[in-house]
Chain A
Amino acid sequence: MHRYPRWPVHVALLAVSTIMLVPFYWVLKTSLTGENIFAFPPALWPENPHPFFYVDVWYAIPFFRYLVNSVIVSVVVVAANVVLNGMAGYALTRDFPGKATTILLFLSCMMIPFQVTIIPAYLITSELGLLNSHAGMALPLSSTIVCIFIFKAAFEAIPKSLIDAARIDGVPDWMIVFRIIMPLTKPAIATNVILSFIWSWNSFLWPLVIIRDETMQTLPLGLSRFLSVVEDTTGALYAFCVMVLVPGLVIFLLAQKEFVSGLTSGATKG
């Protein structure tokens, strides 16, 4: 099976990689050189690159404010997801009246894409007085059904005898949670963190709907606003784009394996 030459595979994969990477390169290049939209052909390599578009953007928009908003929302969402989904997932491993109904309810909620409920969700959020707030942005994302079931599966995989043994040894409950359950459900927690991070960090439609106040905007919102407000600033726009991409990409590259396994199990389990 492995007797064919390797180089065609490499050539093909290099071509694929080029296609996948060129868009990133192109935007990076533009952010360093700007672009004269009347010059054809466009330069393939950066000529006289300089970082001043980044300086322009930094002073043109409250980038740090956007970043902080994004971080706040993501941290709240990730923390809420881990805690709430863990709790719900644990509850579903126990027997209780109404369990079947609850599971059915969760499964049918899964069939309701959030985009479908956006209008009443907006009206409800407005009733709750959470428009223009971090809480309003975070709340709908604070629990995820897929992750509840991932947690449920992880809890069910823990041998009961282990916990019983610990109980008999007089280990207090909180210590059982931290010393036995948490380490054993680490993959589930990781999946949860990754999924909820991606969803909240990249979330756009929901903040777009409920945020009017400029100081509450998150990164994607700020980016799209900048696109629509300022049109004459090619270099600055792409510098902003790069600045928005970098935090996400850094986190992805630091935790690639976790991202891949998290996203796959998010898609396959549940």
Chain B
Amino acid sequence: MAPRTDTAPAPKTRRRVLEGARTFASRKRTREIGLVWLFLAPSLAIFTIYRIVPLIWNGVLSFQFWSPYKPAEFAGLYHYEEMLFYDEAFWETLWNTLIFMASAPVGIALALGVALLVDTPIRGRNTYRTIVFMSYPVMTVAVGIIWQWLFNEKVGLINYVLISLGVIDQGIPFLESFTFALPAVIVASIWQVIGFYMIILLTGLQSIPPSLYEAAAIDGAGAVQRFRRITLPLIRPSLFLCFVVGIINSFTAFDLIFVMTGGGPGHATDLLVTYIYSTAFRLSKFDYAAAITVVNFLLFVALAFLANRLAGGEAGAVKPGG
């Protein structure tokens, strides 16, 4: 935007002024573009160093034999072959990841129930909301420690409650059990994330105009019908967003599992992300872990793509893992 001169100059000088303005404008434009790139540079640099280059490096690494003490050597599909055909732990962790993901609807359903409750005009609803939400921003490592304690075989509160209710006779060592360890971790994870789901759904619920409900009530629609015909369709975007959060969660839920079970017993609670960590940083098999990472990433992209298609292109934000 070149500054305008107020008075119209005489034709001769006018041309010169216009030219001057143009060079001024173009110089200004160059400067502006320079400034734009200068502004973008730090962020771009960070994403290049920590997202793009690693992704490529990771891909390359997965086709190599490499360890910090060994020069790289071409490996072809060796790691992929090993992973897909010989590594049972990989399939187990993949399966666990899918189970973890499939548990998201349970959490979302519970959260929807709570959201409907706190959406009613009762006294103290803000307090209730705060209480339910409070577990979400809390440090996950601490959450893991708390839940590990609650699931304790001898003095854990959960076993105590179950015994008192007569459900079981003896304490279950939840986190050491092949059957119960994964469900136990999932319970803890739902407990932490449910407040977040609730807030997302609540925003959806509050965007529904009350007049719709009133009209439906006049037409004689019951509560259940109103819920099915009005509420559910209208909070679809929020529900979808919750699913996206759930999917991301199943790929990034490292802290909780690391603290609660360390992936054990065996690989009963290992997700892909924890398996990658232990393969790379415990066993120093960086090359092999890179191959698993590639599969993990492709799976993630495929799911995100699928979810996006299901939502009709209405992309939910993808929260970058922190």
Binding site for B on A (CB under 8 A): 1-2, 6, 9-10, 12-13, 16-17, 19-24, 26-27, 30, 35-42, 84-85, 87-88, 90-92, 94, 96-97, 102, 105-106, 109-124, 139-146, 148, 198-205, 208-209, 219-220, 223-224, 227, 237-238, 241, 244-245, 248-249, 252-253, 256, 259-260, 263-264, 266-270
Distance between Cα atoms of A2 and B147 in the complex (Å): 38
The answer on a CB contact under 8 Å between A16 and B50 is no
Given contacts A90-B39, A113-B320, contact A204 B55 (CB under 8 A): no
Known: A146-B319, A224-B259. 17 other contacts (CB 8 A): A1-B214, A6-B120, A20-B131, A26-B150, A88-B42, A91-B37, A97-B33, A114-B51, A114-B322, A117-B55, A145-B320, A201-B139, A220-B141, A220-B142, A260-B199, A263-B199, A268-B203
Bound CA–CA A141/B53 (angstroms) = 16
User: Contact partner of A88 among B39, B121, B154, CB < 8 A?
Assistant: B39
> Contact between B117 and A267 (Cβ–Cβ < 8 Å)?
no
Interchain Cβ contacts under 8 Å between A and B, 24 examples? A2-B120, A9-B120, A16-B132, A26-B150, A26-B157, A84-B42, A110-B317, A111-B301, A112-B52, A114-B320, A118-B277, A118-B293, A119-B54, A124-B57, A199-B322, A204-B141, A204-B254, A208-B258, A223-B145, A241-B142, A244-B139, A259-B133, A266-B317, A268-B203
Residues from chain B with a CB closer than 8 A to the CB of A142 are 42, 46
Cross-chain contact of B43 among A143, A248, A263 (Cβ < 8 A): A143
Chain B interface bracket (under 10, 10 to 19, 20 to 34, 35 or more): 35 or more
Cα separation A259 to B196 with both chains bound (whole Å): 11
| Contact across chains for B155 and A40 when beta carbons are under 8 A apart | yes
Also in contact, A140 and B145, with CB within 8 A (given A40-B154, A96-B33): no
The answer to whether B128 and A13 have CB atoms under 8 Å apart is yes
Q: Given A16-B128, A26-B157, A109-B51, decide whether A119 and B135 contact each other with a Cβ distance below 8 A.
A: no
In the bound complex, residues from chain B placing their C-beta under 8 Å from that of A219 are 139
Q: Quick one: closest A residue to B242, CB to CB?
A: A267
Do A16 and B117 touch (CB < 8 A)? yes
Chain B residues whose CB sits within 8 angstroms of the CB of A42 once the complex forms: 155-157, 160
User: Given the known A-B contacts A106-B47, A199-B322, A260-B133, are A220 and B155 also in contact in the complex, defined by CB atoms under 8 Å?
Assistant: no
Interface pick from B20-28, B79-87, B244-252: B244-252
When distances are taken between beta carbons in the complex, the residues of chain B under 8 Å from A97 are 33
- Contact bitstring B208-232, A, C-beta under 8 A = 1, else 0: 0010011001000000000000000
Report yes or no: B135 in contact with A20, Cβ–Cβ below 8 A: yes
Pairs of residues from A and B, 7 with the lowest C-beta to C-beta distance, nearest first: A199-B322, A117-B54, A120-B54, A270-B317, A120-B57, A91-B39, A87-B39
Given A27-B149, A117-B50, A139-B46, A249 contacting B138 (CB threshold 8 A): yes
Q: Are B255 and A238 in contact (CB under 8 A)?
A: no
* B196 & A263 in contact (Cβ 8 Å cutoff): yes
Residues of B within 8 A of A (CB): 32-33, 35-37, 39-40, 42-44, 46-47, 49-55, 57-58, 61, 114, 117-118, 120-122, 125, 128-143, 145-147, 149-150, 152, 154-157, 160, 163-164, 191, 194-196, 199-200, 203, 210, 213-214, 217, 241, 245, 248, 251-252, 254-255, 258-259, 273, 276-277, 280-281, 286, 289-290, 293, 296-297, 300-301, 304, 316-322
Min CB–CB distance B253 → chain A (angstroms): 10
On whether the beta carbons of A143 and B47 are closer than 8 Å, the reply is: yes
Instruction: Name the residue on B nearest A266 (C-beta).
Output: B319
